Amino acid sequence: MDSPIIAKAPVRTASLGKREQTKVQNREIILDAARKVFGELGFGATTVRDIIRATPLASGTFYNYFKSKEEVFQAIQDEMALTLRPRLRDERLKAKTVEEFISSTFRSFMEFVAEDHVSVRTIRHTADTTRVRIHTPEIVAGFEELREDIEKAIAQGLFPPVDADYLMASIVGVAFEVADRMMTREHRDPAAAAAFATALFVGGIRMLPHADHPAAKTGTA
């Protein structure tokens, strides 16, 4: 299905037959609708019907593209994974100092969120203050990547030998919560939010207790 080595020229995305074009379009229509509905109702509460309703398409058409809402969700996450995660990873790998490592992580993240990427944000339910946040497998995988990178940085002597798991969790927690506050402000300033979070960690990491065997601390779930 994918990875054609040569055949059928990869550079034709713009010149698809009418059939293929509609197919791609409909897929995108469904994904957009799903993003919107997941954002409004939360994943659990969303039904396939809800997604279809947010679409000009017929219910039967949905099943030509996806088998279930789970599959749609997967597709949305994959899309995100294809943009945010590599971006974060590349910059972290280039980092020469703690400061670069931390600040690149937060800057990329805050910018991504500010670009209206709803999927990362807290969802406010209708008419009350209840907020829901969904961490999808893809996002969780991104967490693991971060932890691995921290462990590498410790191994390279870039970071002190702290608890990589807790540090990762702290970065994630701060990233999501501060991003969330940022989005409630009138003037959204991803750079300022990133600067705040970066300063906190750059200052704090030095004070963290040293883990005796950092790797051993890694949880297994």
Partner DNA sequence: AATGAATGAGTTTTCATTCAT
Partner DNA sequence: TATGAATGAAAACTCATTCAT
Q: Which residues bind DNA (CB under 7 A)?
A: 17-19, 22-23, 26, 47-49, 56-65, 67-69
Candidate residues 20, 28, 70, 71; the one interacting with its own copies per rule CB under 8 A: 70
User: 162, 208 in Cβ contact below 8 A?
Assistant: yes
User: 43, 34 in Cβ contact below 8 A?
Assistant: no
Residue 151, interface with its own copies (CB under 8 A)? no
Containing H/E element for 204? helix 190-205
Show contacts with its own copies in window 13-42 (CB under 8 A). 42
Q: Please identify, using beta-carbon distances, which residue of 8 and 213 lies nearer to its own copies.
A: 213
User: Which one of DNA, its own copies, none is in contact with 61 (Cβ closer than 5 to 8 A by kind)?
Assistant: DNA
User: 176, 115 in Cβ contact below 8 A?
Assistant: no
User: Which one of its own copies, DNA, none is in contact with 17 (Cβ closer than 5 to 8 A by kind)?
Assistant: DNA
Please, what's the b/e burial string for 149-158 (b: 16 or more CB within 10 A of its CB; e: otherwise)?
A: bbbebbeeee
Q: How far is the CB of 133 from DNA (least distance, A)?
A: 21
| Phi, psi dihedral angles at 53 (to 5 degrees) | -60, -35
- Residue 159 neighbours by CB under 8 Å, 6+ apart: 98, 101, 150, 153, 205
Q: What's the CA gap between 106 and 199, in Å, rounded?
A: 11
Show contacts with its own copies in window 185-214 (CB under 8 A). 185-186, 192-193, 195-197, 199-209
Q: To which residue do tokens 């701060």 refer?
A: 174
Show contacts with its own copies in window 163-182 (CB under 8 A). 163, 165-166, 169-170, 172-178, 180-181
Q: Please identify, using beta-carbon distances, which residue of 30 and 150 lies nearer to DNA.
A: 30
Let me know the angle formed at the C-alpha of 149 by 147 and 155, rounded to the nearest 5 degrees: 105
Residues near its own copies (CB under 8 A), total: 56
User: Which one of DNA, its own copies, none is in contact with 2 (Cβ closer than 5 to 8 A by kind)?
Assistant: none
List residues binding its own copies (CB under 8 A).
42-46, 70, 122, 128-137, 140, 162-163, 165-166, 169-170, 172-178, 180-181, 184-186, 192-193, 195-197, 199-209, 217, 219-221
